[in-house]
Each structure stands twice: as structure tokens, then as C-alpha cells.
Amino acid sequence: MRVLVIGKGGREHSIVWRLHQSQSVWKIFCAPGNPGINQIAEPVPIAPGDFPALIDFVRANKVDLTIVGPDDPLGAGIVDEFEHAGLKIFGPRRAAAQLETSKSFAKTIMREAGVATADFEVFDDAKKARAYADSKGGRIVVKADGLALGKGVTVCRAIETAHRAIAEAMESKKFGAAGNRVVIEELLTGEELSFFALSDGERAIALGAAQDHKPIFDHDKGPNTGGMGAYTPVPQFGPAIEERIMREVVNPTLAAMKARGIPYRGVLFAGLMIDGDRINVIEFNARFGDPESEPLMMRFEGDLAQTLLAAAEGNLAGTTVRLSPRSSVVVVMSSGGYPGEYRKGLAIHGIEKIEGSAPSDVKVRWAMNRIRVKVFHAGTALKDGTLVTDGGRVLAVTAMAPDLKTAVAAAYEAAEMIEFEGRHFRRDIARRALSRMRATSGSV
Ligand code: AMP
Ligand code: GLY
């Protein structure tokens, strides 16, 4: 089939890369794409928000399936427009994507579905918000209602911080109109997990779980980012927990959506906080995670295009998803200064040492140890034929190996080979899981 992917980040590169290995796919387009994606897909210079132009393109080029990467076009109703035009597209319609785009909608659905989530209230009055914060001793999370590119969330552990966050969101409008209404919830403790399920509106199948690392610096210090690294599988959360997540979170949520007359089709990404026996939902997303997709796509076995088409057609019965039992990890290389201000246009060197065809000792060693390494492009551009930085998250260096420790070592070995001015990456991706594994196995 002929497939169009919408987006330009590391997530979309990993999806395109996996589609490229799908037997059923013989042509891939990507709008707009990036220099890494464009090596295996034909770039389409149409903005993800220009639905009429995308629909014209899909018709003219006989595209069989469109796959939406980011949340913005979903929130703006791209799926509704495509379906209206009689075209096949993978993703939830606008009303269903509210699970991500409106935090108050998501909370309401969770309440209806009996899904465990943090205690919360919705406020449009800052004074009342402050009173609620005080009643929780300042241990709250302030969330602007509406899309703020993951930046509308402030975690507070003290009264003063809570008051400041409320003032910033609701009074000085740090996140624009998204701060007219805020969701304030109690602070959850535990360990975070990103869980992905595919739904065709009627039934869902588990896709897998990954653990993200959101703060910019080691030991989870500094401001939150889109994600600085991830790994899958997550050894401390095995199949028994995945089954519980399907039973206690995914299936009830999808049933509540259906009962409301807005069946959910696409990938449901549950951001969870797990503390002992307690599984709480922090948030839902209506799309694949970034950077979680990069290691998940590496482990995905089978025909991705057929699987996503089945979901889009409401036809997942009988479809199974197989992931490689091997471990995969992604280390994100970011621009100096990100998630604050950063420079663009800085030359990137060294990727050819990993992906070029010239033989090398490193590549031989990786091959002998069944290690696979892939550098996904997140924010890159070509300037006069030179690869340069073009975003906060620049590259997603991903490795897969028979065990997590080997995968982590390979991802770091590869990241060290790539250079650009001001490059930054966390040095502790998956370290917690590794030290726990050492503690339980007793070896050093
Ligand atoms: P969200 O955009 O809702 O996922 O929030 C971004 C990040 O803020 C999450 O990944 C968590 O690290 C943190 N967070 C959000 N809500 C809570 C909560 N209720 N308790 C603790 N941490 C939270
Ligand atoms: N990595 C978290 C997200 O994609 O939202």
C-alpha cells in the first residue's frame, strides 16, 4: 500500500522506518518529513495543519492510509476531515482526541469509567484555586486546560510554589488562553510508566510499555521536556501489570467513550503513576509517545501498516502485536539551552560513523553481539548540504540488544560518536532499572 505519515520528529522517523520494513508497504510519503525521514520516504512540503492540501495530495497520489504523528492535527480534526472525504486515516476524531486536548474532559471520562486518577478540581477563579491548593498543603499539580505543548504543567510541593504557579497560569497567562481554566490535582507519588494500546473503537490490544525520562538533567533535575530518553520493556512492570492496565484503565476508558457516542480509534497512550498496587492515570494522549516510539518501533515485529490499517478500519479482531523480547533504549541528544532558548543551524558530525556503509570495528562488534543501532532524526535540517540542528530535541539515538545493559551501553557509545556545539544528553537513562536489576540478581 501507499502510506502518508504526518509529522517531522523522532517519533515519525521511527514510524516511517518501521513502515519501510512492512511487507505491505511499497511507497511512503511524509509531510513534511525531515532529513532522516527523507532518506526512506518522499517528503511532501505541506504543513500538518493544511487539511485541504493534504486531502488533495492523498487523492492525487492514491494514498491508502494516512498515519498522524503529532497531537495538533488530531485536536484540530484532521481525522474528521479525512473520513468526511472518504479517506482512511489512523487516529482518533477530534471529539475523541479530547482525551488529550482537554484535561477536564479526560478527568470526567475517568470518573465515569471508574479509572483511578488523582483527586482534582477544575477552576476558572484564581482565588478558589488558591484555597484548594492550601487545603492540600501545596502538594498539587497545576495544569492549564488545553494544549500547551506539554509545558502547561507545574508540579508543586509547597504552598508558595503552588500560589506562584496559579498566578502564572491564571493571572499572568503564561500559557495563553489555555490558562483561563486550570485543572488542579493532588500530587501523586510512585514511578511513571507510558503504556500504549491500539483501539479500533470496539476493542483494544496492548502495544507495550516504556519508561520516559522527562526532566532535562540527570537524576530528574531541572525543567520537564518532551522526553530525554526511554526504554522498553520495563523490567519492574511485567505482563501482570500490563494486564491490569488493560483491565482497569484502557478497557473501561474505551467503554466510557463508546457509551458517550464517541468511540476512540487510534493509539491510546496512558501516562501512569504506579505505586505498589496502585495504578493511577496522570494523563491520556491520543498519539504515540516521543521518544517512547523510537524503542517501541525498534521492538515491533510484524507489519505495522497492516496493524494500523486494521485499527483505522475498525477491524482489529484477530490482530495480534508481537514485540521483540530484546531490550531497546533511546538517548535523546538536545540543543544546549533546551527546553529554554537554544541556537539552531549548528553542524552535526559523526552520524556517518554509525550509519555509513564503511566498515568499522564498532559496527563489527555491535553485529557480533546482536546489537542494532539507529539514529532517528528529531530536529535536524539540511543547510547547503550540511546536516544541522533545527530543534530542541535533535537526535534520538536508539539501540536494541539482547539485554538492557548492553542496549544502554551501545546507545551511549553511539551518542558519544555524534557531535554538535552545545550537545546535551542525560547520562542516566534506564539507570534506575539497571541498578534495581543488579540489586535483585546480586551481581555487580
Ligand atoms: P502531564 O502533561 O499531565 O503528563 O504532566 C507532565 C508531568 O508532570 C508528568 O509526566 C508527571 O511527571 C508530572 N505530573 C503530572 N500530574 C501529576 C500528578 N498528579 N502527580 C505527580 N506528578 C504529576
Ligand atoms: N514522551 C511523552 C510524550 O510523548 O508525551
Q: Is 240 exposed, middle or buried (0-12, 13-18, 19+ CB in 10 A)?
A: exposed
The number of the ligand 2 atom at minimal distance from the alpha carbon of 11 is 4
For residue 169, the enclosing domain spans: 119-186
The number of the ligand 2 atom at minimal distance from the alpha carbon of 292 is 1
Helix, strand or coil, per DSSP, at residue 407: helix
Residue 158, in any domain of the structure: yes
Residue 196, in any domain of the structure: no
Are 379 and 426 contained in the same domain? yes
CA distance 380 to 9: 9
Q: Is 289 in the pocket of ligand 2 (CB under 6 A)?
A: yes
How many Å lie between the centroid of ligand 2 and the Cα of residue 150? 8
Domain containing 40 — which CATH number? 3.40.50.20
Ligand at shortest distance from the CA of 227: 2
Judge whether 280 and 272 are in contact, CB under 8 Å.
yes
> Which of 153, 191, 279, when mutated, tests ligand 1's pocket best, judged by the most ligand atoms within 8 Å of its CB?
153
Residue type for position 103: K
> What was the pLDDT predicted at 352?
95
Domain containing 169 — which CATH number? 3.30.1490.20
Residue 106, in any domain of the structure: no
Residue 193, in any domain of the structure: no
How many Å lie between the centroid of ligand 2 and the Cα of residue 227? 6
Are 37 and 82 contained in the same domain? yes
Residue 314, in any domain of the structure: no
Are 155 and 73 contained in the same domain? no
**pLDDT 10s per residue in the chain (444 long)?**
999 999 999 999 999 999 999 999 999 999 999 999 999 999 999 999 999 999 999 999 999 999 999 999 999 999 999 999 999 999 999 999 999 988 789 989 999 999 999 988 889 999 999 999 999 999 999 988 765 555 678 899 999 999 999 999 898 878 777 778 888 999 999 999 999 999 999 999 999 999 999 999 999 999 889 999 999 999 999 999 999 999 999 999 999 999 999 999 999 999 999 999 999 999 999 999 999 999 999 999 999 999 999 999 999 999 999 999 999 999 999 999 999 999 999 999 999 999 989 989 999 999 999 999 999 999 999 999 999 999 999 999 999 999 999 999 999 999 999 999 999 999 999 998 998 888 877 544
How many Å lie between the centroid of ligand 1 and the Cα of residue 214? 10
In total, the chain counts a number of residues equal to: 444
> What was the pLDDT predicted at 108?
92
Q: Is 141 in the pocket of ligand 1 (CB under 6 A)?
A: yes
Q: Is 282 in the pocket of ligand 1 (CB under 6 A)?
A: yes
Residue type for position 393: R
> What was the pLDDT predicted at 444?
44
Residue nearest to atom 4 of ligand 2 (CA): 289
Q: Is 271 in the pocket of ligand 1 (CB under 6 A)?
A: yes
> What was the pLDDT predicted at 379?
98
How many Å lie between the centroid of ligand 1 and the Cα of residue 153? 7
How many Å lie between the centroid of ligand 1 and the Cα of residue 72? 20
Q: Is 283 in the pocket of ligand 1 (CB under 6 A)?
A: yes
The number of the ligand 2 atom at minimal distance from the alpha carbon of 289 is 4
Residue 410, in any domain of the structure: yes
Residue nearest to atom 7 of ligand 1 (CA): 153
Q: Is 118 in the pocket of ligand 1 (CB under 6 A)?
A: yes
Ligand at shortest distance from the CA of 285: 2
The distance from CA 142 to its chain's CA centroid, rounded to whole angstroms, is 21
Q: Give 325-382 as a DSSP string.
A: SSEEEEEEEE-TTTTS------B-B-HHHHHSSS--HHHHHHHHTT-EEEEEESSEEE
Asked which of 186, 216, 245 is the last residue of a domain, the reply is: 186
How many Å lie between the centroid of ligand 1 and the Cα of residue 118? 10
Helix, strand or coil, per DSSP, at residue 425: coil
Judge whether 166 and 239 are in contact, CB under 8 Å.
no
Helix, strand or coil, per DSSP, at residue 173: coil
Are 56 and 150 contained in the same domain? no
How many Å lie between the centroid of ligand 1 and the Cα of residue 289? 15
| Overall domain count for the chain | 3
Residue 179 sits at φ, ψ, to 5 deg, of -90, 5
Residue 107, in any domain of the structure: no
The number of the ligand 1 atom at minimal distance from the alpha carbon of 103 is 3
Residue 48, in any domain of the structure: yes
Q: Is 227 in the pocket of ligand 2 (CB under 6 A)?
A: yes
Are 70 and 146 contained in the same domain? no
Please name the residues in contact with 157: beta carbons below 8 A apart, sequence gap of 6 or more.
Answer: 138, 139, 187
Q: Is 185 in the pocket of ligand 1 (CB under 6 A)?
A: yes
The number of the ligand 2 atom at minimal distance from the alpha carbon of 150 is 5
pTM of the predicted model as reported, rounded to 2 decimal places: 0.94
Are 352 and 423 contained in the same domain? yes
Residue nearest to atom 5 of ligand 2 (CA): 289
How many Å lie between the centroid of ligand 1 and the Cα of residue 282? 6
Cis peptide before 32 (omega within 30 of 0): yes
Judge whether 100 and 264 are in contact, CB under 8 Å.
no
